[in-house]
Amino acid sequence: MQKIQMTVLLATRNGGRVLPRTLEGYCRASAPPVGWKLVIVDNGSTDATPGIIASFKRRLPLDSLAEPVAGKSRALNAGLPAVEGPLAVMTDDDAIPSPTFLTAWAEFLDHRNDYQLFGGSIDPLFEVAPPRWLAESKLRFAMMFAHRDLPEGPIGADEIYGPNMAVRTSIFDRGFRFDEKIGPNAADPDYPTGGETDFCWRAARSGAACWFAKEPLVHHIVRPEQLILGNWIRRAYRTGRGRAHQMWERGGAIIPPRLSLMERLSMYSPIPRHRFDGASAYHLLRGFREECARRDADRRDP
């Protein structure tokens, strides 16, 4: 039996709709030239997720763990003791790997050894076709669907996105963990986003270098409900909260300027592009301000 050199780690909660497609992708992916395994942390699922995970154990080198308390960052931290090998690939339950995903990441076991944090390519996989104005905007793809298509080379920590990233496990050996106050959490539908960004920023601040690996690719499932205005508003609000949270953790947040009257009015535009952008900008600022107010209240009344 080959020694494990690489671990793929993901957390799932009620992933019954997307997890089978993702795990089928791992079954189709070319096996890397080294020992590897997949670790899935079930974060308190109440649907068919546990049975789905069990059904793939005959087809994949799969270990499963349970973390019943809601929170993706908590679930990832719970999975870290099961990670083996010098490279941990972090991904999501709705990120389908390309056929070369595993072999491409395995290249970094002996490649770019002076880098410790890696981002990988992410393509949105739409279940229904997006409107034309959205399909033409790569900037919106990055914010809303975690799209990543960068040149191979050094990057900043904030350019690494959770659906496809890798970490040399020496980073975990140094004590770095995911902040459990941030990231997807079923107990807080308005959770602050950015758990992976925060993790990478802290590690990079300690001296870890970041690299973008273009070949490792996942197809990130975009469900129809993610294209409606209400979802954009929620995501923008969470993003605003996450940015404020991280700025406070880094030494204090600065309140951004108010939106102009024109920017506010754009929320009511008959043109979808303007309406979506205006609502996103407004609710991002709202989330930022409200998170700042929460943190300030906590500071005043510990």
Listed range (17-21, 87-91, 137-141, 162-166) with the worst mean pLDDT: 137-141
Q: Model confidence at 253, in pLDDT bands (50, 70, 90)?
A: low
> What totals of helices (H) and strands (E) does the chain contain, helices first?
11, 9
Residue with the two structure tokens 């019943």: 68
How far is CA 228 from each of CA 134, 177, 223, 267, rounded to the nearest angstrom? 12, 34, 10, 14
Give per-residue pLDDT as tens, 50-83: 999 999 999 999 999 999 999 999 999 999 999 9
Buried-state track 266-290, b at ≥16 Cβ within 10 A, e below 16: bbeeeeebbbbbbbbbbbbbbbbbe
Supply the pTM of this predicted model: 0.92
Give per-residue pLDDT as tens, 41-57: 999 999 999 999 999 99
> For the purposes of burial, counting CB atoms within 10 Å of the CB of 59, is it exposed (0-12), middle (13-18) or buried (19 or more)?
exposed
Mean pLDDT of 231-251: 89
Q: Model confidence at 297, in pLDDT bands (50, 70, 90)?
A: confident
Instruction: State the pLDDT at residue 263.
Output: 75
Give per-residue pLDDT as tens, 274-283: 888 888 889 9
Listed range (18-27, 177-186, 253-262) with the worst mean pLDDT: 253-262
Instruction: State the pLDDT at residue 252.
Output: 66
Q: Model confidence at 250, in pLDDT bands (50, 70, 90)?
A: confident
Listed range (15-24, 79-88, 168-177, 181-190) with the worst mean pLDDT: 181-190
Instruction: State the pLDDT at residue 151.
Output: 97
- Sorted by where each begins, the domain ranges of the chain are 4-223, 229-300
Q: Model confidence at 302, in pLDDT bands (50, 70, 90)?
A: low
Q: Model confidence at 136, in pLDDT bands (50, 70, 90)?
A: confident
The per-residue pLDDT of the chain, averaged, comes to 92
Instruction: State the pLDDT at residue 49.
Output: 97
Listed range (38-42, 204-208, 249-253, 287-291) with the worst mean pLDDT: 249-253
Q: Which helix (H) or strand (E) is 290 found in, with range?
A: helix 272-300
Mean pLDDT of 231-249: 90
Q: Does domain 4-223 have CATH number 3.30.460.20?
A: no
